[in-house]
Structure 1
Amino acid sequence: MFIIQATLYYLPLLSTVIAVVLSEQQSPIIIVNTWPFSNATDAGWNVLSPSNSTLFGSSIDAVVAACTNAEDDPNIESVGYGCSPDENGHTLLDAMVMDGKTMEVGAVASMPDIRQASQVARDVLLSTKHTLLVGPLAAEFAKSRGYKPTSLDTSKSHNLWIKWQKNNCQPNFRKSADWVPDPVTSCGPYRTNVSDINSPKLKDQRIKKLDINNHDTIGVIALDAYGSMAVGTSTSGSTYKIPGRVGDSPIPGAGGYVVDNIGGAVATGDGDLMMRYLLSFQVVDYLRQGIGPTEACKRALRSVRSVSAPLSYFHLTLTPNFK
């Protein structure tokens, strides 16, 4: 038996639960993703079940194909080039691929100038003994693998950045009391507010991101004809993030996690929170204990609700052999 569980959860209210149950003798071919990026899903499906071949593709290649499709789609404003500029006006990419059979992971983070982030992550997985490459040197690795450098910035992303600057750089991700000038009312360059560095209000203050589109990271889970599972993620990160920031997407256990014969999970939302709680790992670990996918998602999210302010998340869980 195979169960796909999609849970849309707005803390503290569970608003939508969708479950699909498939029961077959052979391993079914399944691919799902976090948002209605149907073209991306189709691209992954065509790898898993090619119409012109009797050979079935792997779950790893399927999640990469799906993520690549989203990365190349100019209409998706949260994945790939030309979107989500940072404070300096530049777009950088994060991506991860995880193999549920070997538990190997390949990931890149804060990578400039290379549009095929998920493909480079797969190269890290398959062609190195490392897990995560970051920054300009991740791009250098990609070039050594034959990827051609291309600017990730476009006129659209530049115009977004200019508009943001004209709005006094609002919203942003800096805690107000720690900086001069005050990031609530002004753009940088910022420097440390020495007079308030020991202020107790620093412990509680955080400027929350306000852009609803910041949650639309693509996360993909695939189960291939051979019974192997994989997850893939790709994102351009939070819009107007502080340069150098890395989100949850390339972090195993946060953006995604998968174990063959147990299940897989991907998540999207406030990546800084998800890295603290490793929500995808929590979900899969609950599945390992025999807990159903809906309850696994609920329990993982409760760990956030018990500590942090309400925020929205979307969890997608795929569990094989669940009873």
Structure 2
Amino acid sequence: MITTTFGALLKEIRKTNNMTQVETCKDICSLRQYVRIENNTSEPSMYLVQLLSHRLNYDLIAYYKLIYCDQTLQANTIKTEADVLIKGGQYDDLEKLINRFENYPEFKKGENLQFIYYYKSLCAHSKKDYNQAVQYCINGLHIEDPSFSKNRLYGKISSSIGLNLYHNLGCYLNELGKLDLSIDIWNKILIDIEKKVALNFSYYQSSIEFVKQLYLSTSYNMGTQKTILKEYRMALSYFDKGIVFANKHNCSYYLTNIVRQKMRVLYTLNRYEEARASYDICMGLYLLQGDTKELRSCEQIMKEDYPELLKIKMYD
């Protein structure tokens, strides 16, 4: 689809779905407002774009970002710089960067403002101020769905930055000891991704790789928390969900961690042959990744912590 405006894209997607303007905007906004958006005389809110994405089963948010959020080279440059600082764990520098640019016009609304709250939540977390980190996540999610609040932790969230905030919200609540809430949030992320991926990959458009990775890291978090609670069979079910999803959708992100944690749980349950099989798969993944450091570490851990595995010879 070659379009130059958001309205033109919206019109084309609507026609592809054989929908009228009235059908498209029903229970979302007035026909007058919708027509103004298609005619590019009115800029839609992030929330309205979110609802239209659900209605049309298309990731309009990606184009909303392109057209309304990334209008300047400066915005992209700042977010790229922030990503580098996050990867390096340089949260003091990230906070300084935020203080410099959060009042720029392009970061005052929509997805760019969500990024501000995402960065602030990471900085608060680095200071172990988990309550503040939670509030920043809620503020960012509220931009995508105004019904989202501390009293209502569920909503229509599907943008990459929104899902990131939602996942992190579960992590921060977990660190506050609110495990039930965090598990509920992570479970909703898994279910939502499963439904959308099963229906149509195009819904996520360019963010599909991120969504795959989010599914695997979330299934790992769920399995790990169930392991801590000694709910071992439930833990295995989440690890297996991640493994099946990874194989089906060709995504190895976090897969080694999942398999390794599964091995530990199987060993705890005295299912040594299955644990040894998981161990061998884990070692194979390390070899494929060229991660010899972790491979040697895993070998040493097996000798020290999982002696029963040494007694099992899987192959002649």
TM-score band w.r.t. shorter chain: under 0.3
The structure carrying a bigger strand percent of its residues is 1
Give TM-score, length-normalised by structure 2. 0.25
Work out which structure has the larger RCO, using CA pairs closer than 8 Å and 6 or more positions apart in sequence: 1
Give TM-score, length-normalised by structure 1. 0.25
The structure carrying a bigger helix percent of its residues is 2
